[in-house]
Structure 1
Amino acid sequence: MCRSIKTLRPPYTEDVTEEDVRAAALQFVRKISGFRAPAAHNAEAFDRAVESITQASEELLSSLQVRGAR
């Protein structure tokens, strides 16, 4: 779907920052909304979606248990 979104969990990457997660969320919202940058009247909804997806992604990544991880 979004080829520029990278896998953010071990063992694919070890040093994931909040900026990495937010960038992936932004790419996702851009893809599903069809807007690279929304018009002013859609900016609040766009930004809210990015923040919600960022938070959900951080929760997911912190909850995952990777087999073989120590």
Structure 2
Amino acid sequence: MCRSIKTLREPYISDVTEDDVRAAALQYVRKISGFRAPSARNAEAFDRAVEEVAAATRTLLGDLRLKQVSRD
């Protein structure tokens, strides 16, 4: 279903930037809505969805327990 969604970060990296979160949220909303950019009448709903997905993403990342990776 979502074969074209790419990983935006390595799973073991704990320092995710706000840009990473926003990019992932925007990618998801574009994928699910079918729009790369919304029309003027849909811009508010599109932007709100991006913010809500970004908030859910921050919650998820804050709750994940990451395995410590040795960097020898």
TM-score (norm 1): 0.81
CA RMSD across the alignment: 1.9
Aligned twin of 1:6 = 8
Q: Is the 8 A contact 1:8 1:21 kept in 2?
A: no
1:23 and 1:5 map into 2 onto residues whose CA distance is 11
SS in 2 for 1:46: helix
The aligned runs of 1:13-32 (5 Å cut-off) are 13-32=13-32
The number of equivalent residue pairs is 67
Runs ≥4 residues deviating over 6 A: none
Q: Is the 8 A contact 1:21 1:58 kept in 2?
A: yes
1:41-63 residue CA offsets vs partner (Å, 9 max, x unmatched): 00000000000000000010011
2:7 and 2:29 map into 1 onto residues whose CA distance is 11
Gaps of 5+ in 2: none
Per-residue deviation at 1:36?
0.3
Per-residue deviation at 1:65?
1.0
Aligned twin of 1:63 = 63
TM-score (norm 2): 0.79
Larger Rg: 2
Gaps of 5+ in 1: none
The alignment-based identity, stated in percent, is 55
